[in-house]
Structure 1
Amino acid sequence: MAVLGLGRSGLSAARALREGGAEPLCWDDNAAARGRAEAEGFVLRELAREGAFEGVARLVVSPGIPHLYPAPNPVIARAWEAGVPVDNDIGLFFRSVATPDWEMFDVAPKVVAVTGSNGKSTTSALIHHLLQHAGRESQLAGNIGRGVLDIDPPGEGGVVVLELSSYQTDLARALTPDVGVFTNLTPDHLDRHGGLGGYFAAKRRLFSEGGPDRCVIGVDEDEGRYLANQMGEGPTDDRVIRVSSGRKLSGPGWMVFARKGFLTEWRKGRQVGAIDLREMRGLPGAHNHQNACAAYAAVRTLGLAPRVVEAGFRSFEGLPHRSQIVAEAGGVTYVNDSKATNVDSAVKALLAFGRIRWICGGLMKEGGLEGLAPGFGNVAKAYVIGREAAQFALGLPGVEADICTDMETAVARATAEAQPGEVVLLAPAAASFDQYDSFEARGADFTARVQAALEA
């Protein structure tokens, strides 16, 4: 078995293959990655060379490696020529997860797989949290948490919750979750998928390849409505649960929606559950209410009662760097949303809170900042960081902007000027790489600066 790419998923795949009795032949263009694999005793083989696939049964590819657009990786093209099937760790997982031991279980384990453009990390983590809160065995893996081949075999009634990116769903040769969740669709990774249609097609494979027993589908975009229609056999088919944030859904089917901060579950034409999401500190804003609806629907298919879900919502603290409350002092709340690296995610953060002291800026992406305008009404003042801080501030018409450049200055000024009831929010609307190695490092710096400012 050849393994291309020796990051987290590639190395875990190689380890699992070796544990299962296969012989992994590993390669990565990065010499340091090859060194780490070699230190673990793996055999290296340069897979792009002539004859590299002789005796190889399958090629396992890491998600970051292009296999079709914008151009196939040379190793993948070589595998095609040799007739060697190309797969990834997600495909291997679904082909191997059910073992003969499952025949001994009274309640077979389940797999919940979550995909979509926005919110899939929070939705996956929330499902995992709700299950654990209810006393159910749950493991979180895939694009979040552990590598999918690093988890333990699920036990009696256990649940595996997978966050799956389009890179992962696009290549997996087996996709057979018990519950499939589609959050939403907005343009992303278009070069990797040859356009929006290819991007949606990659997401849709989670539902079309094997057909989940239950489908939780966000229907706030045409693509979601199309997918829900494709998966259902009529308006009363409760194998499909439609989810929405911002509008009331109607009909005889199964649906979960949030309006004005209230989650409502309807089934067979009547209301069967309701939760006031406005009280949930770890789920602020309409975008998190959509995540809550999707997670609620998923765990309802697994048997959790509405009151149990509500209690689980209350104890959910959110994910690091995603609308994460890091401090409260003097009536001011400090929120780390460093993951808001683009305009779409940043405007959702702005709309989630009231009067905001907004720390923003960084390495600007293509497309400009015009999409931020709907959130400007909530901004008391912007504190702009990054090497391009002055240029970034020019893209915020009508917003009072303080050119701070660095995080320490921005946090100090925002903290000094914030009034009770306001929120100091890091939602950069830009990449971090002009000043930080990652958005995680940027968020950690914000948190540290907040603590220092409050202790001063």
Structure 2
Amino acid sequence: MIPVQGMGGLRVAVLGLGRSGLSAARALAAGGAEPLCWDDNPAARAAAEAEGFECLELTKAGAFDNIARLIVSPGIPHLYPTPNPVVAAALAAGVPVDNDIGLFFQSFATSEWNTFDVAPRIVAVTGSNGKSTTSALIHHILEHAGRNSQLAGNIGRGVLDIEPAPSGGVVVLELSSYQTDLARSLTPDVAVFTNLSPDHLDRHAGMGGYFAAKRRLFAEGGPDRAVIGVDEQEGTFLAGQLTEGAVDDRVIRVSVERKLTGPGWQVFARKGFLSEYRNGKQVASIDLRNIAGLPGSHNHQNACSAYGACRSLGLAPKVIEAAFHSFGGLPHRSQTIGEKGGVRFVNDSKATNVDSAAKALAAFKNIRWICGGLEKEGGLDGLQEPSASVRKAYVIGREAAGFAMQLSVEAEVCTTMQAAVAAAIKDAEEGDVVLLAPAAASFDQYDSFEKRGDDFARLVKEHLSAD
């Protein structure tokens, strides 16, 4: 645990008692603060009280008297589309609003660091797609290299649940826009921006607000080195804002769409090969084509981002390349479940928006595509070109018929995962890939994309084990 520093003896309100909220309450108490907890769910309050925490109804008049700070869980809106009433009450009372990420950055460094040979470092990864894979890949490379590494944030453990870092330790954080938007303290040593595509637009009042939430990690975080995907105009703009000139190697530009040239530090992937250039000269090259855990252009982008971050930490190209080959990928992200009769089954349930689904479709050929769910803003137009690899779509979700009508490929309305998997198996021929890449959220039928992916994997495994 990371005890919260600087709040000893203060009363701190905690709103939302899920994983991050309870973790924050424990870390506050460990640091000598008095956490006062609230959640609209009585079961969540009961769980907090069972741990000995006091619950205080934060909607009552005067609830924020003598409260030093309000800690808000990521799923609770603080500004758009409308502020949660508790957040609004805190702001009206002049109480600062923060989250567990802010508490972590405020508390990570301790006086013990004065005795360390090498100060611990934080690598923070944000962006629309690829955050989880990039974060997990950086963590995997560091462990492969024998470096002490912990993975936390939006993946793995809660940020305040990790262990205090030893000398030379590295903490790899995956951070969502919800987390970067509100954190009062952001001080990563290395920050990574993978890419940007429309997502969570209601929460950020549009694309500009969404980008602004991501940008805070860099503009306010002031990392020593920034690894920036420049295949969208926002990334190009961000890289330009952070650099002092063309030869400034504090910014590492990343692309999977073109060769990057110039005197700076560049990492790009073309035709399956990762290349690193510095000062206009090639430093290293890695063949990504046969790395099973990193299929497709979108994973090549993840590889480039992870490579740039690890090079910033002093790792050699050959060490990084060896670690790539032992990376097994993440569940629900281009995860191969198995193969039978020449048909491959791939779970990419994490493809919850159009852009991530398009990248998954571009990674394979002869696709039997299972898609659908709770459609997000912006429609499905971005799926027209990648759909060229699709032989047929099998649409799930409560609004499956409406979803299917927007597709440019032959589509069968299945509604349920069980029906979609059965239909895809029935139609599949040798050389086909049955791919779950929903291009939609899961909440119309499942509690999470993980539950959706688990259901797909369960049905596929039943098929694989059948005679």
Length-normalised TM-score, structure 1 = 0.96
Moved more, 73-82 or 198-207: 73-82
Residue matched to 2:286: 275
Query: What is the 5 A alignment of 1:146-161?
Result: 146-161=157-172
Note closer, same or farther for the CA distance 1:413–1:83 as it changes in structure 2 (3 Å cut). Answer: closer
2:433 matches 1:427: no
Asked if residue 446 in structure 1 is aligned to residue 456 in structure 2, the reply is yes
1:227/1:272 Cα in 2 relative to 1: closer, same or farther (>3 Å)?
Answer: same
> Paired residue for 2:304?
293
Q: Which of 29, 54, 63 is matched with 1:52 structurally? A: 63
1:140 is matched with which residue: 138, 151, 174? 151
Contact 2:13 2:70 in 1 (8 A): yes
- 1: CA distance between counterparts of 2:414 and 2:94? 56
- Please say if 1:240 is aligned against 2:251: yes
Q: Secondary structure of 1:279's partner?
A: coil
1:366 & 1:170 partners in 2: Cα distance? Answer: 20
1:87 aligns with 2:98: yes
Hey, what does 2:334 align to over in structure 1? 323
Partner of 1:249: 260
Contact 1:246 1:260 in 2 (8 A): no
How many Å apart are 1:28 and its aligned residue?
Answer: 1.2
Contact 2:199 2:353 in 1 (8 A): no
1:176 is aligned, of 169, 187, 209, to 187
Can you list the C-alpha shifts for 1:346-367, whole angstroms capped at 9, x where unaligned? Answer: 1111111111121222333343
Which residue, 408, 413, 417 being the options, matches 1:403? 413
Pairwise CA distance, 1:406: 2.8
Unaligned runs of 5+ residues in structure 2 are 1-11
Whether 1:216 and 2:227 are equivalent positions in the alignment is yes
Percent identity for Structure 1 against Structure 2: 74
Cα contact 2:339–2:345 (8 A) shared by 1:
yes
Residue pair 1:178, 1:212 contacting (<8 A) in 2 also:
yes
Question: Closer, same or farther in 2 for the Cα pair 1:131/1:45, shift >3 Å?
Answer: same
Matches of 1:215 and 1:249, distance apart in 2: 16
Q: Does 2:206 align with 1:202?
A: no
Work out the CA distance in 2 between the residues paired with 1:451 and 1:155: 41
Q: Name whichever of 444-453 and 9-18 sits farther off.
A: 444-453
- Asked if structure 1 preserves the Cα contact closer than 8 Å seen for 2:152 and 2:171, the reply is yes
Q: Deviations over 1:160-209 (max 9, x none)?
A: 00111111111111100000111111122222222222211111111111
TM-aligned CA distance change 1:388 to 1:68, over 3 Å: closer
For 2:215 and 2:153, the matched residues in 1 are separated by 17
- Relative to structure 1, the CA distance from residue 67 to residue 279 in structure 2 (aligned partners, 3 Å threshold; closer, same or farther) is same
Q: Which position in structure 2 is the counterpart of 1:15?
A: 26
Matched AA of 1:59: L
RMSD over aligned CA atoms reads 1.5
Confirm whether residue 314 of structure 1 aligns to residue 325 of structure 2: yes
Per-residue deviation, 1:427: 1.1
Q: 1:64 is matched with which residue?
A: 75
Map 1:156-167 to 2 at 5 A: 156-167=167-178
Query: The residue matched to 2:455 in structure 1 has which SS?
Result: helix
Q: One-letter code of the match for 2:449?
A: F
Distance in 1 separating the partners of 2:356 and 2:221: 31
Aligned to 1:189: 200
Q: CA deviation at 1:225?
A: 1.0
How many Å separate the matches in 1 of 2:177 and 2:241?
19
Compare 446-455 and 108-117 and name the one that shifted more: 446-455
Q: How many residues align?
A: 455
Distance in 1, matches of 2:379 and 2:213, equals 27
Query: What's the secondary structure of 1:381's corresponding residue?
Result: strand
For residues 205-251 of structure 1, give each alpha carbon's deviation from its aligned partner in whole angstroms, at most 9, with x where no partner exists.
11111310001011111111111111111111111101111111000
Contact 2:78–2:84 (8 Å) recurs in 1: yes
Partners of 1:159 and 1:62 in 2: CA distance: 25
- 404 and 74 in structure 1: CA distance in 2 versus 1, 3 angstrom threshold: closer
Residue 115 of structure 2 is aligned with which of 104, 121, 145? 104
